[in-house]
Structure formats: C-alpha cells, structure tokens
C-alpha cells in the first residue's frame, strides 16, 4: 500500500484505536504537568494524531473508544476473557486510573470540536468497530489504523495498513515480514491455535508461534488453514520415530482453557476481527456515523483554543505564543473537508 501513488485518486482515512493511543500518550509523557495537573495524555494524543495528519494528509479521521463493559460479547462466549485484568463486564466500576480516565474524557471533547468522528458503545470493543469499518470501507478509500494492538494487523490488506505505535511505522502487506515472521493472513490462525496471553485466551498446550513457524515455515509465504496444519502434522508424525507431543496436542485439541474440544471454534469467534462481534443496533449506529455529515453548529476552533488555554497545552506547544497556529493547522484541513461534506449533502 503506497500512499504516494498517483495513478488513482484515493480518499485517505485515519482510524484510531482511542484507548490504545491515549494509554500510549499518557505513559509516554508522564512528566508533562500544568498547575500540578498532568496533561501529558491530552497533549501527546493530539500531537500524535497531528503528526499523522501532517505526514499523510488524511481526508477523514475516526476514533473508536472502548465503553465501560466493552468485551462483554466475548466474555459471554468465553468466561476467561481478560480475567487477568480484573474487569467486570456487568457491573460498573470506578476507573482504575482516574487521571488517565479524565484525560481520555477531555480528549473526547477536543475531538468533538475538531470534527473528528467518534464512537463508543457500552459493550462493544473498539477493535470490532474498526473491523466493521474496514469491512465496509469504500472502493476508493485507503485506511491506516493507528494502534499498539497487533491483533488489528489481521485487517491489513491491499488498501489497509496499521500504524503500530511502538514501531512508529505503518505496517503493510509489503513490509509485514520485516517486523513479523508470518504472512499477515496467518495472524488469525496463529492466535486461534496459540491463544493470546494478554487477553487470557488459552491456546493449545505446549504450542507457541515459534512452534508453528518451525514446523510450518510456509506460514510466512502463503495463507494456511487449520485443515492444512492437521494434514501436515499427520505427515510429519508418520515420518518420525518418536511423535512430538506438541503436534499431537494440536490434533487432539489439548488445552488448559475452558474451550476444551471447541477450542478452535471458540477462539475463531473471539479472535477473528474480519467477523467482528457486533449487535444490530451498533451496526446501525456505525453505518449512520460512516455515512452522515458532522453538523458544524456549535463547533468552533475558538472552543479548541479556549480548552488549550485552560489545560495548559499552550505552554507545552513549541513556538511560543503563536505556536498553536502551526499546531492546529493539520486539524484545520480536516475541519474544512468535513464542513465541505456537510454543505454538499445538505444543499
């Protein structure tokens, strides 16, 4: 995916995993304070989005947020989901980090004024909203997803890349093997078999990604299936004097997880972002956000400047008292395009 190509004119959309970015921003600017109040998350979030807008000249920006019970649909399928985080999917709890929570809410306010499209659902995860967006993107569109969650690399395609925050690079089909040792189309398969420790999703006992790469080196070259893996395991084991337990575990679905004999079916449901877990009401709301225009009434750049003064961002921006003009310039381009779209469909 080359964003500089000129043969065909594409719309360019930035899709932000809001919680991933605000956490990265918050922890990356721990020392930025204004009047004894930490503002690093707000400042760094806006700075990182600004950098992307400035570099790639996006036409539209979406930010998807996790709600208080996001992940409930996965929890209902698999009760161990995110059990390592102490999350309650049915009873609201106070934020584990109040400072981070308050900065997240403030960033949401900034995005509203900056004509950045946003969505948050009580029970649906941001990842699923992003997956749904990619499945419904237009034929003349290119998308960059901004996140530190590498699960979203499942969505990489001809016109979809993922800006991985800690790599500071857009990962595409062309450069994927520079960073990972498997073909991008096999990420889902790997996680279905090996699980995901960060989300407490159990996989096959004794099997890691390294195991799969060692025994199935073609995993870096082409799309594989479970059926292919099973078939090749039979061949490998028949050629050996001593059977490998890890490979037999794949065939026999041996896991410490509650999925038991249904491990592949359960993991497929909770891992596959190309079939996002959404309810019909959320799909309808997302379709509306994707296709409607942003009403400019009440949204003013002066409101952004006022918030920047209140929060002390003016003191953090390089360039002195006039630095905010340069800082806001990439956002002004988004505002202009969204206002133009509003005018077009409301004539």
Q: Where are the alpha helices (DSSP H) in the chain?
A: 18-28, 40-56, 72-77, 98-113, 126-135, 176-179, 187-194, 209-215, 226-239, 245-252, 263-271, 280-291, 301-311, 313-316, 323-345
Backbone angles phi, psi at 254, to 5 degrees: -85, 120
Spatial CA neighbour of 115 closest among 264, 315, 298, 259: 298
pTM reported for the whole predicted model: 0.95
Spatial contact of 99 and 42, defined as CB atoms under 8 Å apart? no
DSSP string, 210-273: HHHHHH-GGGGTS---HHHHHHHHHHHHHH-SS--HHHHHHHHT-BSSTTGGGHHHHHHHHH-T
- pLDDT per residue as tens, the chain (347 positions): 555 545 668 999 999 999 999 999 999 999 999 999 999 999 999 999 999 999 999 999 999 999 999 999 999 999 999 999 888 999 999 998 999 999 999 999 999 999 999 999 999 999 999 999 999 999 999 999 999 999 999 999 999 999 999 999 999 999 999 999 999 999 999 999 999 999 999 999 999 999 999 999 999 999 999 999 999 999 999 999 999 999 999 999 999 999 999 999 999 999 999 999 999 999 999 999 999 999 999 999 999 999 999 999 999 998 876 889 999 999 999 999 999 999 998 86
d(CA 166, CA 148): 6
pLDDT in the model for residue 347: 67
For residue 118, the 8-state DSSP code is E
pLDDT in the model for residue 7: 63
17 DSSP β-pair partners? 64
Residues with Cβ within 8 Å of residue 212, at least 6 apart in sequence: 182, 190, 193, 194, 219, 229
pLDDT in the model for residue 346: 81
pLDDT in the model for residue 261: 97
What six digits make up the tokens of 92? 């609201």
Spatial contact of 165 and 146, defined as CB atoms under 8 Å apart? yes
Spatial contact of 302 and 78, defined as CB atoms under 8 Å apart? no
* First-last CA distance in the chain: 35
64 DSSP β-pair partners? 17, 119
Strands 117-121 and 60-66: parallel
pLDDT in the model for residue 1: 57
pLDDT in the model for residue 322: 81
Find where tokens 């004509």 sit.
115
Cα dihedral across residues 189, 194, 196, 200: positive or negative: positive
Spatial contact of 279 and 124, defined as CB atoms under 8 Å apart? yes
């Amino acid at each position: 995916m080359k964003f500089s190509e000129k043969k065909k004119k594409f719309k360019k959309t930035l899709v932000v995993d809001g919680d991933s970015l605000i956490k990265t921003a918050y922890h990356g600017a721990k020392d930025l304070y204004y009047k004894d109040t930490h503002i690093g998350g707000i400042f760094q979030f806006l700075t990182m989005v600004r950098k992307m807008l400035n570099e790639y000249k996006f036409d539209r920006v979406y930010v998807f947020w996790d709600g208080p019970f996001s992940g409930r649909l996965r929890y209902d399928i698999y009760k161990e989901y995110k059990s390592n985080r102490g999350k309650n999917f049915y009873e609201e709890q106070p934020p584990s980090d109040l400072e981070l929570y308050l900065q997240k809410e403030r960033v949401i306010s900034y995005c509203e004024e900056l004509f950045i499209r946003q969505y948050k659902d009580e029970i649906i995860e941001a990842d699923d909203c992003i997956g749904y967006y990619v499945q419904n993107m237009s034929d003349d569109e290119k998308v960059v997803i901004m996140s530190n969650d590498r699960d979203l690399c499942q969505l990489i395609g001809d016109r979809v890349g993922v800006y991985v925050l800690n790599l500071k690079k857009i990962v595409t089909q062309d450069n994927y093997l520079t960073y990972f040792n498997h073909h991008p189309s096999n990420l889902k398969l790997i996680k279905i078999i090996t699980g995901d420790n960060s989300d407490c999703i159990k996989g096959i006992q004794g099997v890691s990604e390294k195991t799969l790469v060692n025994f199935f080196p073609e995993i870096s070259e082409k799309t594989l299936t479970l059926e292919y893996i099973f078939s090749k395991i039979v061949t490998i084991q028949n050629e050996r004097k001593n059977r490998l337990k890890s490979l037999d575990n794949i065939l026999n679905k041996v896991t410490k997880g509650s999925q038991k004999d249904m491990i592949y079916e359960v993991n497929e449901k909770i891992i596959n972002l190309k079939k996002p877990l959404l309810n019909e009401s959320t799909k309808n709301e997302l379709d509306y956000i994707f296709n409607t225009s942003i009403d400019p009434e009440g949204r003013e750049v002066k409101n952004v400047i006022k918030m920047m003064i209140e929060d002390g961002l003016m003191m953090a921006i390089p360039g002195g008292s006039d630095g905010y003009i340069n800082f806001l310039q990439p956002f002004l381009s988004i505002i202009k395009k969204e206002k133009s779209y509003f005018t077009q469909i409301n004539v």
